[in-house]
Structures are given as C-alpha cells and as structure tokens.
Amino acid sequence: MQTYKMTEVAQLREAVSHLSPPDRADLADFILNSLDETHYEIDDEEVMKRCEELNSGEVRGLTLNEFRNACGR
C-alpha cells in the first residue's frame, strides 16, 4: 500500500471512530457488500444450527479477549 493511501485510510479510521454505533454498522455493511468476492457463504440454516448449538450448551462462545488472543492480537 502506498503512503498516500495509508494516510487516507488513517483519516477514514479517524472519521469513522466519531460515528455512532448504528452508523458504523451501516458503513461496515456497505463496505462488506461492496467487495466483489467473499470467501465465505452464510445461510439461514447455518445460522440457526449455530444458535441452537450455543443455546443448548453444546458449544461455548468466546469472550472478546479469547477471540483476540486466538487471532493473535
């Protein structure tokens, strides 16, 4: 990434940090939907299956810190 683009991204991040949570969510939705190719496919059946697994106790969700640690952050 070139320096001028990094500066633009930094400016965008700064501007976005001042948006309300609903506005940030709307912007995130727009950005994700603007990507040509996704590397994942999520359908309603998969979502329902995973919700059932969580609700039944079959699987356990992660805390934010556990997720960050798993991602190496």
| pLDDT of amino acid 56 | 97
Q: How far apart are CA 67 and CA 46, in angstroms?
A: 20
What does residue 20 show for φ and ψ, rounded to 5 degrees?
-70, 155
Q: For the chain, which residues score pLDDT lower than 50? A: none
Q: Which residue has the tokens 């590397």?
A: 39
CA of 30: how far to CAs of 10, 16, 46, in Å? 19, 13, 23
pTM, rounded to two decimals = 0.45
Q: How many CA atoms lie within 13 A of 67 on its CB side?
A: 5
The pLDDT tens digits for 30-49 are 998 888 776 677 889 999 99
